[in-house]
Amino acid sequence: MKHLFTLLPIIFFVASCSIIGGPNGYFPEKKYDFLEEEIESDITIPSDLDSPDTENHYPVGDPSNLENVLEVPKPRQIFSSSGDSSVQLRRLGELMWIYIETLPSTSWPISKNYWDTSEYDVIKADPVSGEIDIDFSQSSKIQMRVEHGIKEASTEVFLYKINKISGDIESDPEFVQLEMEKMIDYYADSLSNFTGTSLAAQNLNEMKKAKIFTENGMTVISLDLNFDRAWSSVSKALNAAEIVTNDRDRSNGKFYVSFAEKDERRFRLFGGRSSSDNSQNNEFGKSSQFEITINQENNKSYVRAISKNGNIEESELLLSKINESLS
Protein backbone atom coordinates (compact mmCIF):
# COMPACT_ATOMS: atom_id res chain seq x y z
CA MET A 1 0.00 0.00 0.00
CA LYS A 2 2.91 2.36 0.77
CA HIS A 3 4.30 1.82 -2.74
CA LEU A 4 0.90 2.59 -4.20
CA PHE A 5 0.70 5.94 -2.40
CA THR A 6 4.25 6.72 -3.53
CA LEU A 7 3.45 6.02 -7.19
CA LEU A 8 0.21 7.99 -7.24
CA PRO A 9 1.86 11.47 -7.18
CA ILE A 10 4.26 10.39 -9.94
CA ILE A 11 1.44 9.09 -12.12
CA PHE A 12 -0.57 12.24 -11.48
CA PHE A 13 2.44 14.45 -12.36
CA VAL A 14 3.12 12.61 -15.63
CA ALA A 15 -0.54 12.76 -16.59
CA SER A 16 -0.68 16.47 -15.78
CA CYS A 17 2.34 17.16 -17.99
CA SER A 18 0.67 15.33 -20.84
CA ILE A 19 -2.58 17.25 -20.39
CA ILE A 20 -0.81 20.62 -20.15
CA GLY A 21 2.06 20.33 -22.64
CA GLY A 22 1.27 17.28 -24.77
CA PRO A 23 0.24 17.41 -28.44
CA ASN A 24 -3.42 17.58 -27.42
CA GLY A 25 -2.85 19.53 -24.20
CA TYR A 26 -3.69 23.07 -23.33
CA PHE A 27 -0.21 24.36 -24.20
CA PRO A 28 1.22 22.14 -26.96
CA GLU A 29 4.80 22.61 -28.14
CA LYS A 30 5.30 25.05 -31.01
CA LYS A 31 8.72 23.97 -32.25
CA TYR A 32 7.38 22.10 -35.28
CA ASP A 33 4.80 24.67 -36.33
CA PHE A 34 7.14 25.99 -39.01
CA LEU A 35 6.54 22.81 -41.02
CA GLU A 36 2.98 23.96 -41.63
CA GLU A 37 4.00 27.39 -42.90
CA GLU A 38 3.35 28.23 -46.55
CA ILE A 39 5.75 30.07 -48.84
CA GLU A 40 4.16 33.20 -50.21
CA SER A 41 4.84 34.59 -53.67
CA ASP A 42 7.70 37.04 -54.15
CA ILE A 43 7.11 40.73 -53.47
CA THR A 44 6.19 42.62 -56.60
CA ILE A 45 8.66 45.47 -57.02
CA PRO A 46 7.36 48.60 -58.72
CA SER A 47 8.86 49.29 -62.12
CA ASP A 48 10.48 52.53 -60.93
CA LEU A 49 12.49 50.70 -58.25
CA ASP A 50 15.51 48.46 -58.67
CA SER A 51 15.74 44.92 -57.33
CA PRO A 52 17.98 44.44 -54.27
CA ASP A 53 21.55 43.71 -55.34
CA THR A 54 22.49 41.81 -52.17
CA GLU A 55 22.92 38.08 -52.10
CA ASN A 56 20.38 35.92 -50.25
CA HIS A 57 22.48 33.69 -48.01
CA TYR A 58 19.43 31.76 -46.76
CA PRO A 59 17.37 30.99 -49.88
CA VAL A 60 14.19 28.96 -49.50
CA GLY A 61 14.25 25.85 -51.67
CA ASP A 62 11.43 24.21 -53.58
CA PRO A 63 8.98 22.94 -50.91
CA SER A 64 7.86 20.08 -53.17
CA ASN A 65 11.41 18.69 -53.12
CA LEU A 66 11.96 18.72 -49.35
CA GLU A 67 11.72 14.92 -49.10
CA ASN A 68 14.84 14.56 -51.27
CA VAL A 69 16.93 16.95 -49.17
CA LEU A 70 19.17 14.83 -46.97
CA GLU A 71 21.17 17.62 -45.36
CA VAL A 72 20.54 21.32 -44.94
CA PRO A 73 23.52 23.16 -46.49
CA LYS A 74 25.19 25.69 -44.25
CA PRO A 75 25.44 29.27 -45.55
CA ARG A 76 28.62 30.00 -47.48
CA GLN A 77 31.25 31.85 -45.49
CA ILE A 78 31.99 34.99 -47.47
CA PHE A 79 34.05 36.90 -44.94
CA SER A 80 37.00 35.93 -42.87
CA SER A 81 36.97 36.21 -39.13
CA SER A 82 39.80 36.48 -36.66
CA GLY A 83 39.91 36.40 -32.90
CA ASP A 84 43.12 38.41 -32.64
CA SER A 85 42.92 42.18 -32.76
CA SER A 86 45.71 43.88 -34.65
CA VAL A 87 46.63 47.45 -35.50
CA GLN A 88 48.76 48.12 -38.57
CA LEU A 89 49.96 51.08 -40.59
CA ARG A 90 49.41 50.37 -44.29
CA ARG A 91 50.55 52.28 -47.34
CA LEU A 92 49.85 52.24 -51.07
CA GLY A 93 51.80 54.96 -52.86
CA GLU A 94 51.14 58.20 -50.97
CA LEU A 95 47.94 56.82 -49.45
CA MET A 96 48.36 55.73 -45.84
CA TRP A 97 45.82 54.39 -43.39
CA ILE A 98 45.59 52.58 -40.06
CA TYR A 99 44.04 49.12 -40.19
CA ILE A 100 42.29 47.94 -37.01
CA GLU A 101 40.59 44.58 -36.52
CA THR A 102 37.51 45.86 -34.74
CA LEU A 103 34.21 47.48 -35.68
CA PRO A 104 34.14 51.21 -36.48
CA SER A 105 31.65 51.78 -33.66
CA THR A 106 34.40 50.63 -31.28
CA SER A 107 37.17 52.55 -33.03
CA TRP A 108 35.16 55.79 -33.09
CA PRO A 109 35.20 56.64 -29.34
CA ILE A 110 38.90 55.75 -29.17
CA SER A 111 39.62 58.03 -32.16
CA LYS A 112 37.62 60.89 -30.67
CA ASN A 113 39.25 60.50 -27.28
CA TYR A 114 42.69 60.62 -28.90
CA TRP A 115 42.05 64.15 -30.15
CA ASP A 116 40.06 65.25 -27.10
CA THR A 117 43.14 64.56 -24.98
CA SER A 118 45.60 66.07 -27.46
CA GLU A 119 46.96 69.61 -27.58
CA TYR A 120 44.64 70.50 -30.47
CA ASP A 121 41.03 71.67 -30.42
CA VAL A 122 38.32 69.52 -32.02
CA ILE A 123 36.22 71.60 -34.42
CA LYS A 124 33.73 68.91 -35.40
CA ALA A 125 33.10 65.25 -34.59
CA ASP A 126 30.36 63.56 -36.64
CA PRO A 127 29.80 59.87 -35.75
CA VAL A 128 27.40 59.42 -38.68
CA SER A 129 29.97 60.33 -41.36
CA GLY A 130 32.93 59.22 -39.24
CA GLU A 131 34.72 62.56 -39.69
CA ILE A 132 36.65 64.50 -37.03
CA ASP A 133 38.01 67.97 -37.84
CA ILE A 134 40.90 69.27 -35.74
CA ASP A 135 42.17 72.85 -35.61
CA PHE A 136 45.84 72.35 -36.47
CA SER A 137 47.18 75.79 -37.43
CA GLN A 138 46.04 79.17 -38.68
CA SER A 139 46.00 77.95 -42.28
CA SER A 140 45.39 74.21 -41.96
CA LYS A 141 43.14 71.72 -40.24
CA ILE A 142 43.45 67.97 -39.78
CA GLN A 143 40.61 65.70 -40.79
CA MET A 144 40.35 62.12 -39.59
CA ARG A 145 37.99 59.72 -41.31
CA VAL A 146 36.91 56.52 -39.58
CA GLU A 147 35.58 54.03 -42.13
CA HIS A 148 34.61 50.37 -42.28
CA GLY A 149 37.39 48.29 -43.81
CA ILE A 150 37.32 45.66 -46.52
CA LYS A 151 37.37 42.82 -44.02
CA GLU A 152 34.35 42.07 -41.88
CA ALA A 153 34.49 43.85 -38.49
CA SER A 154 37.48 45.99 -39.38
CA THR A 155 38.23 49.72 -39.37
CA GLU A 156 40.33 51.92 -41.60
CA VAL A 157 41.44 55.32 -40.31
CA PHE A 158 42.62 58.01 -42.73
CA LEU A 159 44.28 61.32 -41.91
CA TYR A 160 44.35 64.39 -44.14
CA LYS A 161 45.87 67.85 -43.83
CA ILE A 162 43.42 70.32 -45.39
CA ASN A 163 43.84 73.99 -46.31
CA LYS A 164 41.23 76.04 -44.44
CA ILE A 165 40.75 78.57 -47.24
CA SER A 166 40.68 76.41 -50.38
CA GLY A 167 39.54 73.16 -48.77
CA ASP A 168 42.16 71.26 -50.76
CA ILE A 169 44.17 68.40 -49.31
CA GLU A 170 47.77 69.40 -48.65
CA SER A 171 50.32 66.71 -49.51
CA ASP A 172 52.45 66.16 -46.41
CA PRO A 173 53.20 62.40 -46.16
CA GLU A 174 55.93 62.83 -43.54
CA PHE A 175 53.56 64.63 -41.17
CA VAL A 176 50.74 62.13 -41.77
CA GLN A 177 53.02 59.15 -41.17
CA LEU A 178 54.43 60.65 -37.97
CA GLU A 179 50.94 61.33 -36.57
CA MET A 180 49.70 57.88 -37.55
CA GLU A 181 52.63 56.19 -35.85
CA LYS A 182 51.62 57.94 -32.62
CA MET A 183 48.01 56.88 -33.11
CA ILE A 184 48.94 53.24 -33.66
CA ASP A 185 50.39 52.96 -30.16
CA TYR A 186 47.32 54.69 -28.74
CA TYR A 187 44.92 52.33 -30.53
CA ALA A 188 46.90 49.25 -29.50
CA ASP A 189 46.93 50.30 -25.83
CA SER A 190 43.26 51.35 -25.85
CA LEU A 191 41.88 48.22 -27.54
CA SER A 192 43.41 45.97 -24.90
CA ASN A 193 41.42 47.79 -22.20
CA PHE A 194 38.39 49.14 -24.06
CA THR A 195 35.35 46.93 -24.72
CA GLY A 196 32.65 49.55 -25.33
CA THR A 197 30.95 50.71 -28.49
CA SER A 198 29.36 53.94 -29.66
CA LEU A 199 25.65 53.75 -30.40
CA ALA A 200 25.90 57.01 -32.35
CA ALA A 201 28.49 55.43 -34.68
CA GLN A 202 26.55 52.22 -35.38
CA ASN A 203 25.84 53.51 -38.88
CA LEU A 204 29.55 53.17 -39.73
CA ASN A 205 29.33 49.41 -39.17
CA GLU A 206 26.98 49.11 -42.15
CA MET A 207 29.16 51.10 -44.58
CA LYS A 208 31.27 48.13 -45.64
CA LYS A 209 33.73 48.45 -48.49
CA ALA A 210 33.26 44.87 -49.65
CA LYS A 211 29.81 43.62 -50.61
CA ILE A 212 28.44 40.61 -52.43
CA PHE A 213 25.69 40.61 -55.02
CA THR A 214 24.42 38.35 -57.79
CA GLU A 215 24.60 39.27 -61.46
CA ASN A 216 23.05 36.98 -64.08
CA GLY A 217 23.18 34.08 -61.65
CA MET A 218 26.85 34.63 -60.75
CA THR A 219 28.36 36.13 -57.62
CA VAL A 220 30.26 39.42 -57.85
CA ILE A 221 32.36 41.18 -55.20
CA SER A 222 31.81 44.93 -55.12
CA LEU A 223 34.69 46.91 -53.61
CA ASP A 224 34.25 50.55 -52.67
CA LEU A 225 37.84 51.20 -53.81
CA ASN A 226 39.62 52.62 -56.81
CA PHE A 227 41.29 50.23 -59.22
CA ASP A 228 44.81 50.58 -57.79
CA ARG A 229 43.80 49.61 -54.29
CA ALA A 230 41.38 46.92 -55.49
CA TRP A 231 44.17 45.35 -57.55
CA SER A 232 46.53 45.41 -54.58
CA SER A 233 43.87 43.95 -52.23
CA VAL A 234 42.96 41.08 -54.58
CA SER A 235 46.65 40.34 -55.18
CA LYS A 236 47.25 40.07 -51.42
CA ALA A 237 44.12 37.94 -51.01
CA LEU A 238 45.36 35.49 -53.63
CA ASN A 239 48.64 35.11 -51.73
CA ALA A 240 46.87 34.79 -48.37
CA ALA A 241 44.53 32.10 -49.74
CA GLU A 242 47.50 30.27 -51.33
CA ILE A 243 46.03 30.59 -54.80
CA VAL A 244 48.67 30.14 -57.51
CA THR A 245 48.87 33.09 -59.92
CA ASN A 246 50.12 31.87 -63.29
CA ASP A 247 50.02 35.26 -64.99
CA ARG A 248 48.56 38.74 -64.59
CA ASP A 249 47.56 41.58 -66.91
CA ARG A 250 47.25 44.72 -64.83
CA SER A 251 46.37 46.99 -67.76
CA ASN A 252 43.24 44.89 -68.39
CA GLY A 253 42.64 44.02 -64.72
CA LYS A 254 43.07 40.24 -65.08
CA PHE A 255 44.63 37.47 -63.00
CA TYR A 256 45.09 33.98 -64.47
CA VAL A 257 45.13 31.55 -61.56
CA SER A 258 44.98 27.86 -60.72
CA PHE A 259 44.96 25.77 -57.59
CA ALA A 260 47.66 23.32 -56.59
CA GLU A 261 48.53 21.28 -53.53
CA LYS A 262 50.85 22.93 -51.06
CA ASP A 263 53.59 20.33 -51.60
CA GLU A 264 53.33 20.59 -55.37
CA ARG A 265 53.86 24.35 -55.10
CA ARG A 266 56.94 23.76 -52.95
CA PHE A 267 58.28 21.34 -55.55
CA ARG A 268 57.89 23.93 -58.30
CA LEU A 269 59.56 26.68 -56.25
CA PHE A 270 62.57 24.78 -54.92
CA GLY A 271 63.04 22.13 -57.61
CA GLY A 272 62.50 19.21 -55.29
CA ARG A 273 59.78 17.04 -53.85
CA SER A 274 58.54 17.49 -50.30
CA SER A 275 58.99 14.61 -47.89
CA SER A 276 55.39 14.88 -46.81
CA ASP A 277 52.98 12.63 -48.71
CA ASN A 278 49.91 13.59 -46.70
CA SER A 279 49.41 17.21 -47.74
CA GLN A 280 45.92 18.58 -47.54
CA ASN A 281 44.23 18.67 -50.93
CA ASN A 282 42.61 21.86 -52.10
CA GLU A 283 38.96 22.01 -53.12
CA PHE A 284 39.95 22.34 -56.78
CA GLY A 285 41.80 19.96 -59.03
CA LYS A 286 45.43 20.63 -59.95
CA SER A 287 44.47 21.49 -63.52
CA SER A 288 41.69 23.94 -62.64
CA GLN A 289 42.20 27.23 -64.46
CA PHE A 290 40.42 30.50 -63.70
CA GLU A 291 40.35 34.07 -64.87
CA ILE A 292 39.75 36.79 -62.28
CA THR A 293 38.77 40.21 -63.59
CA ILE A 294 38.67 43.60 -61.86
CA ASN A 295 36.67 46.35 -63.53
CA GLN A 296 36.22 49.88 -62.23
CA GLU A 297 32.80 51.45 -62.72
CA ASN A 298 31.44 54.60 -61.04
CA ASN A 299 34.28 54.84 -58.48
CA LYS A 300 33.84 51.19 -57.48
CA SER A 301 35.71 48.04 -58.47
CA TYR A 302 33.99 44.75 -59.30
CA VAL A 303 35.70 41.39 -58.96
CA ARG A 304 34.48 38.41 -60.99
CA ALA A 305 35.81 34.86 -61.41
CA ILE A 306 35.35 32.69 -64.49
CA SER A 307 36.32 29.03 -64.75
CA LYS A 308 37.75 28.14 -68.17
CA ASN A 309 35.90 24.82 -68.09
CA GLY A 310 32.61 26.65 -67.46
CA ASN A 311 32.12 25.24 -63.94
CA ILE A 312 30.11 27.93 -62.15
CA GLU A 313 30.29 26.14 -58.78
CA GLU A 314 34.10 26.19 -58.82
CA SER A 315 34.09 29.87 -59.80
CA GLU A 316 31.77 30.65 -56.89
CA LEU A 317 33.99 28.78 -54.45
CA LEU A 318 37.11 30.53 -55.74
CA LEU A 319 35.49 33.95 -55.42
CA SER A 320 34.37 33.09 -51.90
CA LYS A 321 37.93 32.14 -50.95
CA ILE A 322 39.23 35.43 -52.32
CA ASN A 323 36.63 37.38 -50.40
CA GLU A 324 37.45 35.54 -47.18
CA SER A 325 41.07 36.67 -47.52
CA LEU A 326 40.44 40.32 -48.43
CA SER A 327 41.68 42.79 -45.84
Note the pLDDT of residue 262. 47
101-123: average pLDDT? 93
Rounded-to-integer distance, Cα 21 and Cα 25, Å: 5
Assess whether pLDDT exceeds 90 at residue 226.
Answer: yes
Note the pLDDT of residue 78. 36
Distance of CA 204 to the CA centre of its chain: 14
Note the pLDDT of residue 96. 93
Rounded-to-integer distance, Cα 320 and Cα 288, Å: 16
191-207: average pLDDT? 86
- From 254, 302, 233, 294, select the one nearest 53 (Cα to Cα): 302
Residues whose CB is less than 8 angstroms from the CB of residue 259 and which lie 6 or more positions away in sequence, other chains included: 243, 244, 282, 283, 284, 285, 286, 288, 318
171-184: average pLDDT? 91
Tens digit of each residue's pLDDT (9 = 90 or more) over 72-84: 444 443 333 333 4
Report residue 308's pLDDT band, with 50, 70 and 90 as the boundaries.
confident
166-188: average pLDDT? 91
Assess whether pLDDT exceeds 90 at residue 154.
Answer: yes
Note the pLDDT of residue 278. 37
Q: Domains along the chain?
A: 87-203 (3.30.310), 209-271+282-325 (3.30.310.170)
Stated pTM of the model: 0.66
Q: Are 157 and 186 in contact (CB under 8 A)?
A: no
Which of the two residues, 12 and 232, has the higher pLDDT score? 232
Assess whether pLDDT exceeds 60 at residue 104.
Answer: yes
Report residue 210's pLDDT band, with 50, 70 and 90 as the boundaries.
very high
Rounded-to-integer distance, Cα 147 and Cα 199, Å: 15
201-217: average pLDDT? 91
Residues whose CB is less than 8 angstroms from the CB of residue 256 and which lie 6 or more positions away in sequence, other chains included: 245, 246, 247, 248, 249, 289, 290, 291, 292
Assess whether pLDDT exceeds 60 at residue 293.
Answer: yes
Q: Is 200 helix (H, G, I), strand (E, B) or coil?
A: coil
Alpha-carbon distance values, 39 to 55, 72, 138 (Å): 19, 18, 64
Rounded-to-integer distance, Cα 300 and Cα 276, Å: 44
Q: Kindly calculate the radius of gyration of the chain based on its CA atoms and give it in whole angstroms.
A: 28
- Give the mean pLDDT of the chain: 78
Assess whether pLDDT exceeds 90 at residue 24.
Answer: no
Assess whether pLDDT exceeds 90 at residue 6.
Answer: no
